Chains A and B, each alone.
Chain A
Amino acid sequence: MYLVFAESQDNKYKKSSLEAISYAKAAAGGAGVAVFTIGSTDASELGQYGADKILQAASLTCSDPFVIAAALAEAANACGAKCIIISNNYAGKSIAPLLAVKLKAGVVSGVVALPNVDGDSMTVRKGCFSGKGFVEMKLNSVIKVLAITPNSYKIEINAGSGAVEAYTPQANVSQARTQQVELKKVTGKIPLTEAEVVVSGGRGWKGPENWGMVEELAAILGGATACSKPVSDMDWRPHEEHVGQTGITIKPNLYIATGISGAIQHQAGVSGSKVIVVINKDPEAPFFKIADYGIVGDVFEAMPKIIEAAKVWKAGNH
């Protein structure tokens, strides 16, 4: 049995969780997929992605990773799970290692492909060197924990018919080791790691006051905004937007880099994108080497034309 941890936010299951269930269904073969989830969001939709069984701890609402990992470990033991799948987002990154110790499980995070399973042994591919490479990891433990990179596996509708079962783990909020003092939620924005389209800006924009066009194009395409390291270092944009080797690694379907020359460290963070567009006035900018589409020119000249065309496209298609 494979067990997936599914998360919801604002009464909706996260895209990364639906990806994780689809991934588990494909990886499990005939072994079956169970889902564990906390909170009261209606979980009945999860069956269609391949869940055979859905365990819902409706009254457990907390963000403490210990409580979630403890509850997840109980669920794993209850259904005899041999492999636990978690999304490698910030929450998943904190839960996966705690869970691995509780279950004495080998753990691989940043997984980007389905595993090769041979009896008890498993190999799985993960990103390494911040997007500059991949490594095939072999897991030697009986129980395994995999944290899957968002946007690495597509959501699939499967013939699963799992009904939701109420589940009450022993783990509860009183065991929390951290207490929330304040929540600073960014509303109405797509998380960068989950975005399918990312429009990114660099020093070519000359200052934070010029970010309107980056934001406008991202909004029209239904995407998120990102930035290069110098831009984040100069505080033109918040550090959460910094993609690259010392920022975050993303793999959207479409990455549009505007006014970014593409230093090797920046390329590392975005090279997993399916299609890369580079707009830069320097024809020698290294970014053109990994781009699919390139425009040599000033962002202030190119972007208004692209935004105009995007508006027309949007009006016609969506």
Chain B
Amino acid sequence: MKILVCISQVPDTTTKISFADNNTKLNTAGVQFIINPYDELSLTRALELTEKLGGIVTVINVGLADSEANIRKALAIGATDAIRINSEPKDAYFVAEQIAAVAQSGGYELILTGRESIDYNSGLVGGLLAEMLNLPYVNVVCKLDVEGTTATCEHDIDGGREVVKCNLPCVLSAQKDLTEPRIPNMRGIMAARTKPLQVVEPQVVPILAEALTYELPASKGACKMLDVADAGKLIDLLHNEAKII
């Protein structure tokens, strides 16, 4: 089977976030970029499925040349080949349109995204792609199996979980629990250097939403400390002082 895995690169989870240029963009000084953790789960599950069922895994990224190190990492983890759409990833709609343009004629049976990227937390690209390509969509998938032309997905819903079936091709977004991420080994890293990485130019599309300015959360006041022997006083403070219960 042919699987397309959409990856984005995001600041490492330990990054202390700050903004630059009058708060119009992320201050990338000293920031280490990684493959979005949920995308890495998609990639690993895709590899497990093709190891079982045969097939190839293509990773796709909308990004500038600086994302190639992470694309090579995805190839080192085990993807067969890669496509980079040479553009800054603007909003989710823009990214989805770029990927849809490539995926349209690719003959992919499964298109996987992460549940959300941990930078913009929008969780939109999978659904946008599905609708643009007219395919079924299941979000926050925790378990995925494929048999014949049917995908069976267990996914989070509000107040529980639901198991659904849909026909391939389909678009799914990965949630924690889908699998454990893989660490690339030396052989994979060597092989990744020569695996095909195709660069395509972006489509010109209208920008429907754009980021203007960023802001950090308001800083907190001083923390009121209680002695552990008086821990019970907490409830009184929450009720009478903070008036929160």
Contact = CB atoms under 8 A, between A and B. Distances in A.
Contacts, number: 276
Nearest to B208: A106
B19 interface: yes
The secondary-structure label for the interface of chain B is: mixed
A95 B177 CA distance: 23
Nearest to A221: B245
A140 B166 contact: no
Nearest to B132: A101
A128 B119 contact: yes
Contacts of B161: 184
Query: Of residues B17, B37, B230, B236, which shows the largest number of chain A Cβ atoms within 10 Å of its Cβ?
Result: B17
A292 B223 contact: yes
Given A178-B136, A253-B244, A293-B237, A308 B232 contact: yes
Contact of A293 (B162, B210, B224): B224
Interface residues of B, number: 85
A191 to B, nearest CB: 6
A263 B137 CA distance: 34
A275 B208 contact: no
Contact of B160 (A184, A232, A309): A184
A130 B124 CA distance: 15
B105 to A, nearest CB: 19
Contacts of B140: 90, 93
Contacts of A254: 238, 242, 244-245
Interface string A249-275: 100011000000001110000011011
Given A183-B162, A275-B242, A302 B228 contact: yes
A183 B160 contact: yes
A309 B162 contact: no
A63 B121 contact: no
B127 interface: yes
A291 B221 CA distance: 8
Contacts of B220: 276, 289-292
Contacts of B204: none
Given A109-B124, A139-B208, A185-B160, A239 B177 contact: yes
Interface string A157-184: 0000000000000000000011111111
B239 to A, nearest CB: 6
Contact of A240 (B156, B213, B231): B156
Given A65-B137, A186-B160, A133 B217 contact: yes
A201 interface: no
A133 B19 contact: yes
Interface stretch (B8-16, B54-62, B69-77, B78-86): B8-16
Interface residues of A, number: 100
Nearest to A89: B158
A92 B226 CA distance: 41
Interface in A93-140: 93-98, 100-102, 104-110, 123, 126-140
B13 A277 contact: no
Given A221-B245, A297-B228, A185 B159 contact: yes
Contact of B244 (A181, A274, A296): A274
B42 interface: no
B233 interface: yes
B66 interface: no
Given A93-B123, A141-B208, A132 B216 contact: yes
Contacts of A294: 223-226
Nearest to A91: B158
Q: Which 6 A-B pairs have the closest CB atoms?
A: A297-B228, A97-B127, A106-B208, A309-B232, A177-B136, A101-B131
Interface of B: 11, 13-17, 19, 37-38, 91-93, 96, 118-128, 130-132, 135-140, 142, 152, 156-167, 170, 175-177, 206-217, 220-221, 223-239, 242, 244-245
Given A95-B127, A135-B120, A293-B223, 15 more contacts: A93-B124, A93-B140, A97-B124, A97-B125, A97-B130, A98-B128, A106-B93, A127-B121, A135-B215, A140-B206, A140-B208, A246-B13, A276-B220, A292-B220, A306-B231
30 contacts: A9-B158, A97-B125, A98-B127, A106-B209, A128-B121, A129-B118, A132-B15, A141-B208, A178-B166, A179-B166, A180-B162, A183-B162, A197-B245, A245-B118, A246-B37, A246-B38, A265-B13, A278-B223, A289-B220, A289-B223, A292-B220, A292-B221, A292-B224, A293-B234, A294-B223, A294-B224, A295-B225, A296-B228, A301-B228, A309-B232
